[in-house]
Chain A
């Protein structure tokens, strides 16, 4: 078991724990916080996978995903704040 593979399994377990908070989360903003953390964890695991398998093009995927995750979070936060009508 390589170190990076062990780290990947630990990160996926932590993602499942954050998912519990997304499900329980009393308010919408807890869910948004959970989604924000899950996207950060997904970016970490993409890059660890890229380093593990020496596929450097996966890092561009992580870059694009982090930009889109950021824009998605901002839009949802504004949508919730403006209560629907932008």
Chain B
């Protein structure tokens, strides 16, 4: 039973990842690109981790995956913010690209 749920969650997270890739290539502007792709990427990451948690059941490895999920929740948005902030502060103006 838990195998079915984990497979379902893994396929959903693959869908999120594909949206992240589409988000990177479709948008012409850097800020729109980073806004969409990092958000969808983090959600895809968390979904696949929860899917793997179902697969390993209650054990130490599930605790490790939870720890990595917690770390990803904290670090991913922070690093994306750092990138966007450095782009903004060093004067990267939108619309210069296209």
- Interface residues of A, Cβ cutoff 8 Å to B: 3-4, 7, 10-11, 14, 17-18, 21, 26-27, 29-30, 32-34, 36-37, 40-41, 43-44, 47-48, 50-51, 56, 59-60, 62-63, 66-67, 69-70, 73-74, 77-78, 80-81, 83
Contacts and interface: CB of A to CB of B under 8 A. Distances in A.
A59 B92 contact: no
B90 A83 contact: yes
Contacts of B52: 47-48, 51
A59 B61 contact: yes
A67 to B, nearest CB: 7
Contacts of B61: 50-51, 56, 59
A66 B72 contact: yes
Nearest to B55: A51
A40 B76 contact: yes
Interface residues of B, number: 45
B90 A66 contact: no
What are the nearest 7 A-B pairs in CB distance? A81-B86, A70-B75, A77-B82, A29-B87, A59-B64, A77-B86, A73-B79
Given A32-B83, A44-B48, A62-B68, A7 B38 contact: no
Q: Which of A27, A29, A78 has the most CB of B within 10 A?
A: A29
B30 A36 contact: no
Nearest to B81: A77
Given A10-B14, A14-B18, A59-B65, A27 B71 contact: no
